[in-house]
Amino acid sequence: MKTLLRKRTVTSCTSNHAHKDVMTAPKKAQMKLWPLVITMFFLVCGGAYGIEESISASGPGMALMLIILVPLLSALPTGLMMAELSTALPLVGGYYVWVKKGLGPVWGFLVTWWTWISSWIDNAIYPILFAEYTCYLLSRVLGISGVEGNAFLRFSLAMVAIWPIAIMNIRGTKCSGKFSIVMACFVFVPFIVISILGFNKIFNEGIPVWQPVIPEGRSFFGSLGIGLYVMMWNYLGWDGISTIGDEVHDPQRTYPKAIFGAILLVTLTYLIPVTACLAYNRDPGMWKPGFFTDIALHAGGTLLALIMSAGALFSALGQLNAGILSDSRVPFILAHEGYLPETLKKIHPQYGTPVNSILCSAVTCSLFSLCSFQNLIIAGVTLSMFALSIKFLALIALRVKMPHLHRPFKIPGGIFGVILVSLLPTSLMIVGIASMWQDVAFQQALLVSFGAIVTGPVCYKILKRTFHTKELSDKNLESVPVPDC
């Protein structure tokens, strides 16, 4: 299948048996290395905010171990897959095109549908965090009463986060990339300060920050399960950036550098501040969303607490921006493939962005922001990991079906190396489910995610019958307009 963009020959992708329809985006206004790194950073992380739940769920020692192990077992394999496929097929639609070419159009739709639904859940977490941190700032730092527990205020704050970000995304990826860099500066400053103070305290007082390993009264596997789920959520999202592959400058060179740079940046962003802050409080029960502000207040006074709270707000906005940027391309692609209404194909006349698809993502994000934080994490992680396992199957299938496809970056070890890389994240998800299986709340959230999986085949039949008269041909796809930046 040719890509959903204007045809352009790429000399670096040609060989005797190369895939001849690999194309890249127009030269104007493309996202370059550092904006891409920071966009990935926000798509996955956005600072240590949100990781507090892993300390309360699994304990300091277990959380520190998971911060190190999860990127090795999940983020790095996903990054390797991304580096190989995004450089071999740097196309608008990203993983949709990979899975369609590797496993066929039905699986292409299903994995894209599941990923899209998980994005509704995941993106809703960020305006919730924005509202939580704003209320925390108003109540705990500024002393304003009547804020905590006000559901209407929280929903209103979530809307304040969502819709300006949606409007900015309509203006294009270049604008979004610059916004991400500005947000990153605000996020890093308070954590750099508190990390210096915390490590100074650790070295001077010899504090064993890894103790207790698990919370008192909790079993090892119970602590592992929920902590693993929270940590997997904190490391999910690497494949999402593939949907704008057509809007990245020199993707064959830029993607691998950005992916591995972002993985290292995200891991250190979690590990260093969490270790430093454990010097001030190792009670798992105290580690709730907003607790970094309490530590900042204790370590550096009101000014540092204000800066930390402001950083949390910028972090949530940066993550929401990256999420809408990535996920809004999904309905645009499905509409062009004939699975969704024609109106989602609309391109903004001035900015060249898929305006109705962006608005669609903002609406779903608004609706899901009414849900609870922990249930969103469990359902979102399960659905995302399930979809990710299918993308790894596509990686294996493409190695078998298209062995001569030019791959500027290639996972070492041949087919066995690819299989090993594919098994690691799936095994991690199985361990997480097995560890949490006895928890009633977990079972309920798991049912939600399984229900979302079932909607895939059902919606495929309904949507194809409603909007999809016949499979689009490669020739027709050549004329599909590309969302500009």
* pLDDT at residue 278, rounded to an integer: 94
Element (H, E) at 25: none
Range in 9-18, 431-440, 468-477 with the lowest mean pLDDT:
9-18
Between helix 329-336 and helix 105-136 the angle, nearest 10°, is 160
Q: Give per-residue pLDDT as tens, 390-415.
A: 999 999 999 999 998 888 888 988 99
Residue 22 domain flag: no
Q: Please report the pLDDT score of residue 203 as a whole number.
A: 93
Asked if the model's pLDDT at residue 288 lies above 50, the reply is: yes
Asked if residue 104 is part of any domain, the answer here is yes
Give the separation between CA 119 and CA 9, rounded to whole angstroms. 33
Return the CATH number at 111.
1.20.1740.10
Check: CB of residue 360 under 8 Å from CB of residue 330.
no
Q: What is the mean pLDDT of residues 460-466?
A: 86
Judged against a pLDDT cut of 80, whether residue 13 lies above it is answered with: no
Average pLDDT, the chain: 79
- Mean pLDDT, residues 359-381 taken together: 76
Q: Does residue 25 sit within a domain?
A: no
Tell me how far apart the terminal alpha carbons of the chain are, to the nearest angstrom. Answer: 24
Residue 242: the pLDDT is 66
pLDDT at 205 over 50: yes
What tokens does 28 get? 């104007």
Instruction: Give Cα 275 to chain centroid, integer Å.
Output: 23
- Does 11 fall in a domain? no
User: Is position 146 within any domain?
Assistant: yes
> Is 103's pLDDT higher than 90?
yes
Helix (H/G/I), strand (E/B), else coil: 149: coil
* Number of separate domains in the chain: 1
Q: Write the single-letter amino acid at 235.
A: Y
Q: How far is CA 107 from CA 271, 390, 460, in A?
A: 37, 8, 10
Q: Look at residue 305 in the predicted model and tell me its pLDDT.
A: 87
Q: Over 90: is that where the pLDDT of 346 sits?
A: no
Cis peptide bond N-terminal to 212, omega within 30: yes
The answer to whether position 24 is within a domain reads no
pLDDT in tens, 319-338: 788 778 777 778 888 888 88
DSSP letter at 244?
Answer: B
- Tokens standing for 289? 């969303």
What does 355-411 look like in DSSP terms, one character per residue? HHHHHHHHHHHHHHTTS-HHHHHHHHHHHHHHHHHHHHHHHHHHHHH-TTS--SS--
Average pLDDT over residues 209-237: 81
- Tokens read off for 181: 């860099």
Query: What digits encode the pLDDT tens for the residues 77-94?
Result: 988 888 888 888 877 677
472 has a pLDDT exceeding 60: no
pLDDT of residue 393: 94
C-alpha to C-alpha distance for 366 and 106, rounded to whole angstroms? 29
Half-sphere exposure of 20 (CA within 13 A, CB side): 4
Cα gap 144→146, rounded to integer Å: 7
Which pLDDT score is estimated for 470?
A: 47
pLDDT higher than 60, residue 482: no
Whether 482 and 26 have beta carbons less than 8 Å apart is answered as: yes
The pLDDT value recorded for residue 177 is 61
Cβ-based neighbours of 338, under 8 Å, separated by 6 or more: 464, 467, 468, 469, 470, 471, 472
23 part of a folded domain: no
Residue 250 has pLDDT above 90, yes or no: no
pLDDT at 447 (0 to 100)? 82
pLDDT, position 221 = 76
pLDDT tops 70 at residue 28: no
Read off the pLDDT band of 1 (50, 70, 90): very low
Question: Which residue range forms the structural domain that includes residue 145?
Answer: 34-404+414-477
User: Tell me, what DSSP letter sits at residue 8?
Assistant: -
482 lies in some domain: no
Task: Enter the tokens of residue 185.
Answer: 């500066």
Q: Which of 25-39, 213-227, 260-274, 379-393 has the lowest mean pLDDT?
A: 25-39
